[in-house]
Amino acid sequence: MSNETIDDTSHTYDDADQLLPDSLPGGGADPYRPVFDPTVRTIIYVVCLIAQIVSVVCLAYHYETLGATIATCAGLLAAGFGVAYNPSRKV
């Protein structure tokens, strides 16, 4: 074994090809606005939460394929609508 240590602090990384936040589409002074209003997102959140509970019940009765499918689809549906539980987010 070698007693050499690797020191990454001496390397500089060139990120000149990265876009600046001001040059990104929609990255101006306007704040982020979700596509769906809070009522629709709340309904999607509750439906997906119920689907997750149903998937746990299906897994408890040895219907693994059905439970896993419901759990995956509920998560994908919620993510597709941009629904995320974040209690520290300011609206």
4 located within any domain:
no
What would the pLDDT profile of 8-36 be if each residue is shown by its tens digit?
A: 565 555 555 655 555 555 555 566 677 77
55 located within any domain:
yes
What would the pLDDT profile of 30-67 be if each residue is shown by its tens digit?
A: 666 777 788 888 898 899 889 888 888 887 777 888 88
2 located within any domain:
no
64 located within any domain:
yes
Query: What integer pLDDT is reported at residue 11 of this predicted model?
Result: 56
Q: Residue 42 is which amino acid? A: T
Burial class (CB in 10 A: 0-12, 13-18, 19+), 83: buried
First CA to last CA distance, the chain: 55
6 located within any domain:
no
Angstrom distance (rounded) from CA 72 to CA 35: 23
Tell me the whole-structure pTM to 2 decimals: 0.53
Cβ atoms 54, 72 nearer than 8 A: no
Helices 38-60 and 64-80 cross at an angle (nearest 10°) of 170
52 located within any domain:
yes
